[in-house]
Chains A and B, each alone.
Chain A
Amino acid sequence: MSSPTGGGTFLGLPAVPSRPPYGTGNLRGDRAFPEAAREELGNDQLRRNLAKATRTIRGKRLAVTAELPDWEQLREAGAAIKTDTMNRLPELLEQLERKVTEHGGTVHWARDGVEANEIVTRLVQESGSDEVIKVKSMATQEIGLNEHLESRGITAHETDLAELIVQLAGDRPSHILVPAIHRNREEIRDIFRAGIPGVDPGLDAVPAHLAAAARAHLRKKFMTVPVAVSGANFGIAETGTLSVVESEGNGRMCLTLPRTLITVMGIEKVLPRYRDLEVFLQLLPRSSTGERMNPYTSMWTGVTPGDGPQEFHLVLLDNGRTAALADRIGREALNCIRCSACLNVCPVYERTGGHSYGSTYPGPIGAVLTPQLAGMDAAKNDPNSSLPYASSLCGACFDACPVKIDIPSLLVELRHQHTERSGTTAEKLVMRAAAAVMRRPALFTAAQRVTAAPGRLVAGRDEVVSRLPPPFDGWTDSRDLPAPPRQTFRSWLASEEGAATLREAAEEGRRDREGRAAGREDDDEEAR
């Protein structure tokens, strides 16, 4: 190829591209995970509700995933489609934009939550309404849309039953799929009595009565509010089709009755082809609610004259997703389809609940997604930098994930990124010192000797250590530690006793094998 300048011109070194900006909104708590968890761990009601609910969903999920002979192949397919999607996200998004526009919709691009909120607000204002009805949506929670609309004099009504409970209580959702998992029916009765205008003051806590009260309240909104805001589970690049899956049908109401529909979709929700839905409409309901199929699957493509909303806006939300995409390893977290299976199997989530994570996205996926979307500032005490450590790395989440996101490996990766950015900390010095000792066998054995004696002294006569100084007091608050033994393995092995024991074991084994062989010969004799 010839160069117009004749070649040889030094163009300079390419500049390192700046990191894409992090997201804004409800992606950071106000305190570190261990602190927040401490409070939640003390809430017995929460612990009981969570244990019961997650256990039930776990059982249902296992039943409906085990019955499919090709479940593992479906997971493989889901992972492959999502990986392919992330590898060519820009072209797929442009294709989606083209198709939505061709079908009469309008596409808006929002770099972050602030821009998305402004776009939605402007669109609602242009419609002349000061109210919107909402389909359950993680993306709009992430950007704090309801609060932003409220600040502009627009009231947003959540229509998902659990989201309604959370909204009326002035609370925050604690689970991706079951936002009010931390509330029991008596609490819900009280919330409805206080929050639904004109509700029967004698309303009791019978689930059917509670649902009926919500239904009466919501029907009025469906019939009168002209603008709906939704999220999207999938956006098909090939056709421009958007899709929402739900259980109650309240989403369907919002997606069909109002004049204007505004959908806020994270850019990672795009799928290449219509037929990809075949995979995800099997993976998602079985993984999330433990159902073979969710009751309502809505799909719409732009605007259909005379049927459904006559104005459709799609707001494509980045809000840190490009930053996550830029991470070679961490980008795998963008494959998440928000099924919440990882929350339901997580022993940490089961005990601390969703609020401890401080983000719209709790649980194992939240612990890897939140720091990537919103960053984990290396400066001390960024609550997000505590999230990758909120896991025992037990791996239950990886096994449950329908798109096979290796969450434990991502957690370890993010921990590494955090320590790399943190400069020299006390912990790093300890880790360095430990490695420096352990890399030198002579030093290691010396360290074994010098720590054993004081360890045995601390343990005392019962050989149990029950009190340790910080930072190890967290251990001895609820666990003992055995005293170090008198002899390490390697010194035993080098001793006459060790050598004799192994000789005897080998001898015993030889006698046993010979005895068994002789026994077999005797049996053979008898058989003859």
Chain B
Amino acid sequence: MRIGLFATCLGDTLFPDAVKATAVLLARLGHEVVFPPEQTCCGQMHVNTGYQREPVPLVRNFAEQFGDPSLDAVVMPSGSCAGSVRHQHEIVAARYGDAALRARVAAVKAKTYELSELLVDVLGVTDVGAYFPHRVTYHPTCHSLRMLRVGDKPLRLLRAVEAIDLAELPEADTCCGFGGTFALKNAGTSAAMLRDKTDAVRSTGADVCTAGDSSCLMHIGGGLSRIEAGTRTLHLAQILASTRTAPHPLPQPEATR
């Protein structure tokens, strides 16, 4: 399959290892990974903060970069960015775009997937041949869970990982408190939510907390680092890309890095 990879602005800039892992994983599974070079950002932050005129060029650029009909699918290692492409781009295009943009947005939307959806639903794999001999707990991010409805797909992928010790996260479906600019506008409330999430993560005794979205992991990881919890965060893609021949080393705990 020819798969277009959207790195997301956050992944490209701050968390390249998660995007690298996504590319490596798909290459290992025998697919051609295409990186449209002019890609930037999906505009999620703008829309979620109340701005719909400003991201029109971003929506247009995304549709142009990934509209290429030779791409069989578009994937991104982020539930919330996939949610933005699938649910928000059409709102922006309907309000401030033209007919051409609306058509392009609809075409790209139909082939856009978050990583676990692509693997399980499109490529039909749950055992990706990964090896990760560590204790891991999984946080299902809100937009993966309730916007995209990925259900237990990420957990099915994790259960198939060789040697993994998967620990169930208590109150897993509760938001970590990130919410984009919410974490700045309502920092106190966000921090109170985060504290409960990091307590839950710590209670599992996991070495690693994983999720399908670098933004939520940035938030949870930032909290774990501050309280020196000793638990690391890794993107789901990084665990799935880890193999016996090229195992992902356990990173330094957040606080001692």
A contacts, CB < 8 Å to B: 33-34, 37-38, 41, 47, 347-348, 351-352, 388-396, 398-399, 412, 415-419, 427-428, 431-432, 434-435, 438-439, 441, 444, 448, 451-452, 462-464, 466, 471-472, 474-475, 477-482, 484-485, 487-490, 492-493, 498, 501-503, 505-506, 508-510, 512-513
Measured CB to CB, the nearest residue on chain B to A472 is B184
Q: How many angstroms from the CA of A482 to the CA of B218 in the assembled complex?
A: 8
Measured CB to CB, the nearest residue on chain B to A427 is B49
Interface size on B, residues (CB 8 A): 83
8 Å CB contact of A506 from B16, B28, B39: B28
Q: How many angstroms from the CA of A428 to the CA of B50 in the assembled complex?
A: 10
Is the beta-carbon distance between A512 and B187 smaller than 8 angstroms? Answer: no
Within 8 A of A (CB), among B215-245: 218-219, 221-223, 225-226, 241, 243, 245
Is the beta-carbon distance between B179 and A502 smaller than 8 angstroms? Answer: no
Is the beta-carbon distance between A389 and B39 smaller than 8 angstroms? Answer: no
Q: How many angstroms from the CA of A432 to the CA of B187 in the assembled complex?
A: 23
Is the beta-carbon distance between B27 and A505 smaller than 8 angstroms? Answer: yes
Is the beta-carbon distance between B9 and A438 smaller than 8 angstroms? Answer: yes
Q: List 5 A-B contacts (CB under 8 A).
A: A392-B177, A393-B48, A415-B50, A479-B191, A493-B35
Q: A37-B189, A435-B57 are in contact. Are A484 and B223 (CB under 8 A)?
A: no
Is the beta-carbon distance between B46 and A412 smaller than 8 angstroms? Answer: no
> How distant is B202 from chain A, measured CB to nearest CB, in Å?
15
Q: A392-B179, A416-B52, A502-B23 are in contact. Are A471 and B184 (CB under 8 A)?
A: yes
4 closest A-B pairs by CB: A474-B187, A392-B179, A415-B50, A479-B222
Q: Tell me whether B212 is interfacial, beta carbon within 8 Å.
A: no
Residue of A391, A392, A492 with highest tally of chain B CB at under 10 A: A392
Is the beta-carbon distance between B48 and A441 smaller than 8 angstroms? Answer: no
Chain A hits for B35, CB < 8 A? 490, 493
Q: Tell me whether B200 is interfacial, beta carbon within 8 Å.
A: no
8 Å CB contact of B12 from A416, A435, A448: A448
Number of A-B contacts (CB under 8 A): 224
Q: Tell me whether B203 is interfacial, beta carbon within 8 Å.
A: no
Within 8 A of A (CB), among B22-77: 23-25, 27-30, 33, 35, 37-41, 43, 45-52, 54-55, 57-58, 61
Q: How many angstroms from the CA of A463 to the CA of B225 in the assembled complex?
A: 11
Is the beta-carbon distance between A487 and B16 smaller than 8 angstroms? Answer: yes
Chain B hits for A502, CB < 8 A? 23-24, 27, 33
8 Å CB contact of B191 from A348, A462, A477, A503: A477
Q: Tell me whether B11 is interfacial, beta carbon within 8 Å.
A: yes
Residue of B29, B37, B175, B194 with highest tally of chain A CB at under 10 A: B175
Is the beta-carbon distance between A34 and B186 smaller than 8 angstroms? Answer: yes
Is the beta-carbon distance between A475 and B226 smaller than 8 angstroms? Answer: no
